[in-house]
Amino acid sequence: MSRRGEFDLIAQSLAPLSNTANGLGLTDDAALFDPTPGHTAVMSTDTLVANVHFLPDTAPADVARKALRVNLSDIAAMGAVARGYLLNLALPETVTDARVDAFVTGLAADQQAFGVTLWGGDTVRTSGPLTLSVTAIGEVRTGRALKRSGAQVGDQVYVTGTIGDAAAGLRLLSGSSSLAASDADFLADRYRLPQPRSTVGPRLVGLASAALDVSDGLIADLGHICETSSVGATVRAADVPLSAALRAAIARDVLSLPDALTGGDDYELLFCAPPAVHDVMKTLGAALGVSIKAIGEITQGGGVTLLDKNGGVITLQRAGHTHF
């Protein structure tokens, strides 16, 4: 199939995803953003490469949505509300118009779901694999962004949702198993389409002392908080929230519990907060319909210690997964 030129692609497919105030209908050299008075602009960017960050047979709509969602997850982790995004698309010569249209359809669906619009970007061709970068832009009350550096000794460690599903999902997409189809589909979907906690992040401002989203693996990412905050942490393995599907997958040796805790791609929020707000967290989770669970404590010293039911130390062979 022939492929449209850059100008046609922008005018026909991408401009309808844009707006006038920020994206200038994609006719200009740059995008404009006025944060709400009293707010600071927040920007996050991630690059996905075919075969490295998604499987080659992934539907184009899912590729587009994942690229957007991993960045919306970063924006949420800063306590910010996402407003728009920039899209850099390097398309292989072989890509068809139909695949590009499917890609755009995926973006349109997620723009609706997450309240963002396309503000700008660049479209080029490449002799290599499909490569896309999304830069998400949001805003947070000035001086109140959630950073990795604020964890205090005595804080509790919380995580949203469930951990390890995506690691199991990737394993299942790469092989076969005796898992029930409904469980396998659930886990594969958790890998394919992460759920950014966009409703939770902004509500943590003023409550959480430090936060990030789990992309490298629960233990590795808690390690990032510890390093940046100059503290240590303990995690009670039995308290880490696991989905029923993941428990079934572990029972059938799809992956081990340690692999679930270090597997990455969860895109759940991991954050620290003083014990005083424990009840507020319970109420918040219930109000938002998202599990928010305490799984450990911030301690003196450094590094992350994983504890079993009896308080014994579980030794991990690796802390996390690198996307590099």
The values of phi and psi at residue 230, to 5°, are 55, 50
If one asks whether residue 147 binds a second copy (CB under 8 A), the answer comes out as yes
Beta strands in 161-243 (DSSP E): 210-213, 232-236
Type of residue at 70: V
The values of phi and psi at residue 7, to 5°, are -65, -45
**Which pair of tokens denotes residue 186?**
């659930």
If one asks whether residue 40 binds a second copy (CB under 8 A), the answer comes out as yes
Length in residues, the chain: 324
For the bound state, the minimum distance from the C-beta of residue 237 to a second copy, rounded and expressed in Å, comes to 25
If one asks whether residue 30 binds a second copy (CB under 8 A), the answer comes out as yes
For the bound state, the minimum distance from the C-beta of residue 319 to a second copy, rounded and expressed in Å, comes to 11
Distance CA 15, CA 23 (A): 9
Q: Kindly tell me which of 120 and 194 has the beta carbon lying closer to a second copy.
A: 120
Q: Kindly tell me which of 35 and 285 has the beta carbon lying closer to a second copy.
A: 35
For the bound state, the minimum distance from the C-beta of residue 74 to a second copy, rounded and expressed in Å, comes to 4
Q: Kindly tell me which of 67 and 157 has the beta carbon lying closer to a second copy.
A: 67
**Which pair of tokens denotes residue 286?**
């219930």
Q: Kindly tell me which of 184 and 211 has the beta carbon lying closer to a second copy.
A: 211
**Which pair of tokens denotes residue 106?**
């995926």
First-to-last C-alpha distance (Å) of the chain: 33
**DSSP label at 27?**
-
Q: Which of 17, 217, 24, 158 is nearest to 101 (CA)?
A: 17
| 65 CB burial (10 A radius; 0-12, 13-18, 19+) | buried
Give the bridge partners for 18, in sequence order: 118
Q: Kindly tell me which of 229 and 243 has the beta carbon lying closer to a second copy.
A: 229
Q: Between residue 214 and residue 243, which ones bind a second copy under the rule CB under 8 A?
A: 224, 228
Task: Give yes or no for a contact between 53 and 133, defined as CB atoms under 8 angstroms apart.
Answer: no
If one asks whether residue 161 binds a second copy (CB under 8 A), the answer comes out as no
Q: Kindly tell me which of 30 and 181 has the beta carbon lying closer to a second copy.
A: 30
If one asks whether residue 195 binds a second copy (CB under 8 A), the answer comes out as no
Q: Kindly tell me which of 161 and 186 has the beta carbon lying closer to a second copy.
A: 161
If one asks whether residue 41 binds a second copy (CB under 8 A), the answer comes out as yes
For the bound state, the minimum distance from the C-beta of residue 87 to a second copy, rounded and expressed in Å, comes to 9
How many Cβ atoms are within 10 Å of 150's Cβ, its own excluded? 18
Task: Give yes or no for a contact between 249 and 166, defined as CB atoms under 8 angstroms apart.
Answer: no
For the bound state, the minimum distance from the C-beta of residue 48 to a second copy, rounded and expressed in Å, comes to 8
Residue from 15, 49, 193, 316 touching a second copy (CB under 8 A): that is: 49
Q: Between residue 50 and residue 89, which ones bind a second copy under the rule CB under 8 A?
A: 51-53, 74-75, 77-78, 80, 86, 88-89
Element (H, E) at 140: strand 131-141
If one asks whether residue 47 binds a second copy (CB under 8 A), the answer comes out as yes
Task: Give yes or no for a contact between 138 and 71, defined as CB atoms under 8 angstroms apart.
Answer: no
Distance CA 300, CA 287 (A): 33
If one asks whether residue 145 binds a second copy (CB under 8 A), the answer comes out as yes
If one asks whether residue 244 binds a second copy (CB under 8 A), the answer comes out as no
For the bound state, the minimum distance from the C-beta of residue 267 to a second copy, rounded and expressed in Å, comes to 11
> Which spans of this chain sit near a second copy (rule: CB under 8 A)?
5-7, 9, 24, 27-35, 40-49, 51-53, 74-75, 77-78, 80, 86, 88-90, 119-129, 131, 133, 135, 137-138, 140, 142, 145, 147-149, 212-213, 224, 228, 322-324
